[in-house]
Structure 1
Amino acid sequence: IYSAATKREQAAELYDAAVAMLEQSPSLFRLVRRYSNRVLAPKSRGRLQALSKDHKSMDGLNVHYGLIDELHAHPTSAVWDVIKSARGARSQPLIYSITTEGFLTDGVDADLHEYASKVLT
């Protein structure tokens, strides 16, 4: 599971909320190892980590669930494209974005909004 945003602090908000949920479940929390920037589940080889566009490299990810925050703030589709392409090895991967309405009239958010509007029509 990766949370991504334009800035690491924003991506960390999603990560911190997920860690807080883990901490509320002793049975789940026993299954993971928490490090400064990621949570690992050794037995299932799972990972929870926050990423950002200023992250040095997102190459080599194996994404089962990607959550992109504030998609309207992403000036390019780079983060979306990396998360989307990194799902290739998974049989039922998910990619999800959450956002408020932004001011960029082009970009990945505008493209997805236009696509969704056409599907609804």
Structure 2
Amino acid sequence: AGIGLYCLVADKEPRAEVYAAATKKDQAMILFRDAVAMVNQSPALSQRIEPSGGAGKEWNLAFLQTGSFFRPISSDDGQSGPRPHCALIDEVHEHKDNRAVEMMRAGTKGRRQALIFMITNSGHDKTSVCYDYHQYGKQLAA
């Protein structure tokens, strides 16, 4: 959540789109609610970020100075077309395929310095998309 907020307000990216992404909206909301709580507890962030929705029902954080936003998104939404500056993809071991990750990755092509975080538990399925990304990460590190 902190990284998403940094990308929203401090990265100097015009019209930044920041997403908390997961397979289910409830899971994406966990990370997003943490970001909302950070904004609520920080006078500096509260002065800069405008939440949409009532207390406890927030669905968007806007940084109007750069026309940027931070939102939760899920594969269930069937969304296409996001152009993330920052994508925080949670519980990758629960993804049935790589559609959500690749949708986010494909949307970064117009960004100067896009960032994708894949957050997960280790899982146990060596045939999953999570294991494929784990192996890819190991190859990059090597």
Q: Same fold (TM over 0.5)?
A: yes
> Which residue pairs with 1:25 in the alignment?
42
Runs of 4+ in 1 over 6 A off after TM superposition: none
The C-alpha deviation readout for 1:65-108, integer Å capped at 9, x for no partner, is 10100101000000000111111111111000111111332232
Counterparts of residues 1-121 of structure 1 (less than 5 Å): 1-36=18-53, 37-57=59-79, 59-121=80-142
Hey, what's the Cα distance between the residues in 2 that align with 1:118 and 1:27? 40
Contact 1:4-1:50 at 8 Å conserved across structures: yes
Which range moved further: 102-111 or 6-15?
Answer: 102-111
Q: Helix, strand or coil: the match of 1:88?
A: helix
Contiguous gaps of at least 5 residues in structure 1: none
**What amino acid sits opposite 1:64 in the alignment?**
H
Hey, what's the Cα distance between the residues in 1 that align with 2:78 and 2:139? 36
Hey, what's the Cα distance between the residues in 2 that align with 1:92 and 1:119? 19
CA-atom RMSD in angstroms: 1.4
| Identical amino acids, percent of aligned pairs | 31
Contact 1:80-1:108 at 8 Å conserved across structures: no
Hey, what's the Cα distance between the residues in 2 that align with 1:20 and 1:95? 22
Which range moved further: 109-118 or 87-96?
Answer: 109-118
Q: How far off its partner does 1:116 sit?
A: 2.4
Instruction: Kindly indicate which of the two structures has a greater share of residues assigned to helix.
Output: 2
Hey, what's the Cα distance between the residues in 1 that align with 2:93 and 2:68? 29
Contiguous gaps of at least 5 residues in structure 2: 1-17, 54-58
Q: Scaled by the length of structure 2, what TM-score is found?
A: 0.78
